[in-house]
Structure 1
Amino acid sequence: MQKTLHSWKNLSLVEETLTLPNGVVANHTSINHPGAVVILAKTPTGKLLLLNQYRPSLKTWLLEIPAGTLENNEDPFTAAKRELEEETGYSAKKWQSLGKLTPMAGFCNEIQYLYFAEDLQLTQRLQADTDEVIEVLEVSIDELLQWIQQDKISDAKTIAAVSKALLSGTLS
């Protein structure tokens, strides 16, 4: 049995009774999330796009790569193309999947789909949501890695996408 405790935008807080793999029956409360996309984008000059974005939940600015929530039944690749253009004003000709993340599995079913985008073209079709305050930066790979080491970048999806790109040889 599942009971919705609260809904907001396309998220919902649900409580349900589950039978765990060990046979124990437990009540569990979690957030239903439609999923998200995360884009590590490389400019023709070899720089990476980074957003300096104000995050009201933390009441501070975060350095992070472009990302966004999937709309209802939206294909992740379609969402990645949309989010890159909305948040940075760039489109990309070349895309590669970097895999998936499960960022908050203890209390949320969100899956984040990671992409590497290159061959960027400036379209200037910035359409950030009204509650988004974003500054687009271009940084070198070395600078981005240094900022991660210095804790200037603490955003988990950014660190994971960069790590996956480095480990796969996509980013060097």
Structure 2
Amino acid sequence: MHKTLHSWKNLSLIEEPLTLPNGVEVEHTSIVHPGAVVILARTSQNKLLLLNQYRPSLKDWLLEIPAGTLDPNEDPLTAAKRELEEETGYSAKKWQRFGKLTPMAGFCNEVQYLYLAQDLSLTQSLSQDTDEVIEVLEVSIDDLLAWIQQDKITDAKTIATLSKALLNGILN
């Protein structure tokens, strides 16, 4: 049985007794997360949508691909469609799921579901959250890779998602 130490939005900090595979019993503290989606949105000109987003935790701007947290019991594809439109003002007709990431497994159970969105249409229905300040950019894959090498892009989910897509031939 776990004890909730703190809750915020749809995240919880919990503490629970666990028996590890080696038989050692511990009190483990972790964050319970509903999961997230990460989207590579490719335009008809073979560019990717990139967000220049102000991140208050860093007190700085961060270049990253669209992503967002699942609502409680939300299907990941439904969340991906919602997040793409909210953050970029685009919708996509073609969707392909191509993997997942576990970004903070040492202290959080978040799983990020990766999608490629294609056949984009501008919907003009940008509805960013009140704490989101976002500029949408269209960037070539080569520029994105160069920006990763130059440390202009440091966002882990963006780097990992692009790497996984390239390794799996998703962006060919």
Question: What is the TM-score with the length of structure 2 in the denominator?
Answer: 0.98
- Superposed CA deviations along residues 83-132 of structure 1, whole A, max 9, x for unmatched, are 00000000001111120000000000000000011110110110000000
Q: Tell me if structure 2 keeps the 8 A contact 1:98–1:161.
A: no
- CA–CA distance in structure 2, aligned partners of residues 171 and 24 of structure 1: 45
Match of 2:76 in 1: 76
- CA–CA distance in structure 1, aligned partners of residues 68 and 138 of structure 2: 19
Match of 1:99 in 2: 99
- Superposed CA deviations along residues 27-56 of structure 1, whole A, max 9, x for unmatched, are 110000000000000011111100000111
Runs (4+) of structure 1 exceeding 6 A deviation are none
For structure 1, the residue ranges without an aligned partner over 5 or more in a row are none
* Identical columns (%): 81
- CA–CA distance in structure 1, aligned partners of residues 22 and 130 of structure 2: 46
Match of 2:28 in 1: 28
- CA–CA distance in structure 1, aligned partners of residues 164 and 41 of structure 2: 13
Read off the aligned partner of 1:69 and give its amino acid letter. Answer: T
Read off the aligned partner of 1:43 and give its amino acid letter. Answer: T
- CA–CA distance in structure 2, aligned partners of residues 34 and 22 of structure 1: 28
For structure 2, the residue ranges without an aligned partner over 5 or more in a row are none
Q: CA deviation at 1:171?
A: 0.8
Question: What is the TM-score with the length of structure 1 in the denominator?
Answer: 0.98
Match of 1:55 in 2: 55
Which residues of 2 match residues 106-117 of structure 1 at below 5 A?
Answer: 106-117=106-117
Which residues of 2 match residues 115-130 of structure 1 at below 5 A?
Answer: 115-130=115-130
- CA–CA distance in structure 2, aligned partners of residues 124 and 46 of structure 1: 21
Q: CA deviation at 1:168?
A: 1.1
- CA–CA distance in structure 1, aligned partners of residues 19 and 121 of structure 2: 50
Q: CA deviation at 1:165?
A: 1.0
- CA–CA distance in structure 1, aligned partners of residues 89 and 98 of structure 2: 22
RMSD over aligned Cα atoms: 0.6
